[in-house]
Structure 1
Amino acid sequence: MSATAAETAAFSTGLTAPFALARFLEADAGPARLGLVAGERIRPLEEADLGAPDLNAFLAAPDWDRLEALTAADGPWRPVSDVTLTAPVQPLQIVQAGANYRTHVIDLVVAHAPADDPRPESEIREDAARMMDERAATGEPYFFIGLPGAVAGDDVPLVLPSYSDQHDWELELAVVIGQEGFRLTPEQAMDHVAGYTICNDITTRDRVFRADSKGIGADWYRSKNAPGFLPTGPFLVPAHFVDPSDLGITLDLNGERMQDASTSDLLFGLPALVAAASLNMPLLPGDLLLTGSPAGNGAHWGRLLRDGDLMEGSVQGLGTQRVRCIAEGAGGSR
């Protein structure tokens, strides 16, 4: 996690779990290493410590008791603030849920109601609420696919591509898959969740719909998958430490609160999401499943990302990611 001197002095992991996993960089600029975080300390995890050759192999059959025992052991512990944290996961697949916060979708229906709609706003909102309740009762989650190459930690700035000035934020709770799962039922789904992390699903708004292909639908490839467009982490928190049913989600832009919601407002809960996502392809150890973003993105506020912005995104108990934005060409080369 990169930080100014003032931010470093006030550093706190923001974790409530006894321990979590992270990946970190050392001063010699070698490859990222897997680490165990306990309190404000971190120690590297070797293969012998992990009992598996790598992170995803561990997540396939996680032995959390093994790691918990290490938290009380002597070893090469150091302050977390002494290392640079990067994305805590290396997924092979990323599945993303869209339109999955009830209040957010209702707000969107109201905002996009035709100007000649004779109904008062209260009636439009009530009709939208009924539509969402019916969708939750009889419908299915909506998914699209992200590219693993877009995953980045907050150790690097978010480079805002010069082809647009409409880059937006969408903070989300992300599920990290453990044991491989294919065509799961909702009752089986949570047994395949290893843990949770934070993702910010950056979107270029004027690339979502194409003028030359209006009948095809949203173009999520062009609008979402630029390098670094999925800031992730900084921690992977074991699932048994987290109740995902009512977690606070907040995003501050330059110190001003933009998103402030709870996962209790999810239209489809995690068992339904994981089960539905597993129907087409097996979910693999280390994969990410994004659960959707609540109201309060830049399109709502009429204020999109600019050079120099600082986003601070938190999910209750999972820590905080701090992502600085730079314009392409202003120190950014992508």
Structure 2
Amino acid sequence: MKLVRFGAAGAEKPGLIDADGKVRDLSGVVPDIAGDVLGRKGRARLAAIDPASLPLAPEGSRFGACVGRVGNFIAVGLNYADHAAESGMAVPSEPVLFNKAPSCIVGPDDTVLIPRGSEKTDWEVELAVVIGERASYVSEADALDYVAGYCVCNDVSERAYQIERGGQWTKGKGCPTFGPIGPWLVTTDEVDTGDLAMKLSVNGELVQNGSSSTMVFKVPFLIHYISQFMILEPGDVITTGTPPGVGMGMKPPRYLKPGDRMEVSIAGLGVQRQAVAAG
């Protein structure tokens, strides 16, 4: 299944994509794509519905973030060896974890705002994992049983805030609009994360062209590892790192400016298209 949230910001309705690529309205069945709806029982209930029995969403509806009420938005740093190299950092012996503020989450095609005073706002295409079951101290072997599905994330980052301002990376990762996710959540039965093409273009120029196959720490290990340090709840999002091609790694470095346009895609998970504006 491809699950979506559509409608005006702050008033999104739950939906699914039918076989013809049209959005069907699930608001008569579930209140949101969030919480227990993402669990095994909730997904089974949705899978049993004939999409043709659901009303169509209004043509041209905005896509919101594909998950609602996200509690934890956890990110993994330096999880691609070639990205670590372009960043001038060593490949970590254990996953680097940081938080993105849930308040930074926006829809896949919403405008990305450059924070006030920023001169180093950057892009990162990432595979995001959406948790479906409460997870604590899970084994690597069982980790995928706790996943609802996957989506595209643009881990927008302000490099000066992240690296040059002291302390932890969080301060450069959670600015408003720095977490576009979607367009849809693809359930686990339709995705093999082993080798997904990952691309990001800026103003039509392909700058990131990688694959999930080059992750240092794979999805099952990441879920197992993170669950040793915190409880993961249904609807939590883990964004798993980016392949090379970020602006920070270019020579000379290149960063986003108002008027730029990004296109962000992962094979089978859809495409995001974002304009950039001053915040």
8 Å Cα contact 1:174/1:198 also seen in 2: yes
Displacement of 1:300: 1.8
By percentage of residues, which structure has more helix?
1
8 Å Cα contact 1:197/1:233 also seen in 2: yes
Secondary structure at 1:82's aligned position in 2? coil
Displacement of 1:146: 1.4
**Structure 1 unmatched ranges of 5 or more:** 1-18, 113-127, 329-334
1:243-273 Cα distance to aligned partner (Å, 9 max, x none): 0011010001111101000000000001110
Displacement of 1:164: 1.4
Displacement of 1:30: 7.5
Displacement of 1:210: 4.2
Q: Which residue of 2 aligns with 1:117?
A: none
The 3 A distance-change label for structure 1 pair 60 and 67 is closer
Q: Which residue of 1 aligns with 2:67?
A: 89
Which deviates more, 224-233 or 167-176?
A: 224-233
1:262-309 Cα distance to aligned partner (Å, 9 max, x none): 000000001110011111111000000111011001112222101111
| TM value normalised by structure 2 | 0.91
8 Å Cα contact 2:26/2:54 also seen in 1: no
The 3 A distance-change label for structure 1 pair 207 and 75 is closer
Q: What residue identity is the alignment partner of 2:81?
A: R
8 Å Cα contact 2:86/2:249 also seen in 1: no
Q: Which residue of 2 aligns with 1:241?
A: 190
| TM value normalised by structure 1 | 0.77
Displacement of 1:315: 0.6
C-alpha distance in 1 between matches for 2:10 and 2:79: 39
Q: Which residue of 1 aligns with 2:128?
A: 174
Q: What residue identity is the alignment partner of 2:67?
A: V
Q: Which residue of 2 aligns with 1:316?
A: 267
Q: Which residue of 2 aligns with 1:40?
A: 21
The 3 A distance-change label for structure 1 pair 272 and 159 is same
C-alpha distance in 1 between matches for 2:55 and 2:242: 38
Query: Does 1:221 find its partner at 2:170?
Result: yes
Secondary structure at 2:163's aligned position in 1? coil
Q: What residue identity is the alignment partner of 2:73?
A: I
8 Å Cα contact 2:78/2:96 also seen in 1: yes
Q: Root-mean-square deviation (CA), in Å? A: 2.1
Query: Does 1:198 find its partner at 2:177?
Result: no
Displacement of 1:142: 1.4
Displacement of 1:75: 3.0
The equivalences for 1:2-13 within 5 A come to none
Identical residues among aligned pairs (%): 36
The 3 A distance-change label for structure 1 pair 155 and 167 is same
Q: Which residue of 2 aligns with 1:300?
A: 249
Q: Which residue of 2 aligns with 1:116?
A: none
Question: Alignment length, in residue pairs?
Answer: 275
8 Å Cα contact 2:25/2:54 also seen in 1: no
The equivalences for 1:80-159 within 5 A come to 81-90=59-68, 91-109=70-88, 132=91, 139-159=93-113
8 Å Cα contact 1:62/1:194 also seen in 2: no
1:1-48 Cα distance to aligned partner (Å, 9 max, x none): xxxxxxxxxxxxxxxxxx31100106xx8711011112321111135x
Matching residue within 50, 65, 70 for 2:49: 70
Secondary structure at 2:53's aligned position in 1? coil
The 3 A distance-change label for structure 1 pair 166 and 75 is same
C-alpha distance in 2 between matches for 1:53 and 1:144: 27
The 3 A distance-change label for structure 1 pair 72 and 225 is closer
8 Å Cα contact 1:166/1:205 also seen in 2: yes
C-alpha distance in 2 between matches for 1:224 and 1:65: 34
Matching residue within 289, 294, 318 for 2:238: 289
Q: What residue identity is the alignment partner of 1:244?
A: T
Q: What residue identity is the alignment partner of 1:150?
A: C
C-alpha distance in 1 between matches for 2:187 and 2:225: 22
The 3 A distance-change label for structure 1 pair 63 and 157 is same
**Structure 2 unmatched ranges of 5 or more:** none
Secondary structure at 1:84's aligned position in 2? coil
Matching residue within 139, 158, 168 for 1:185: 139
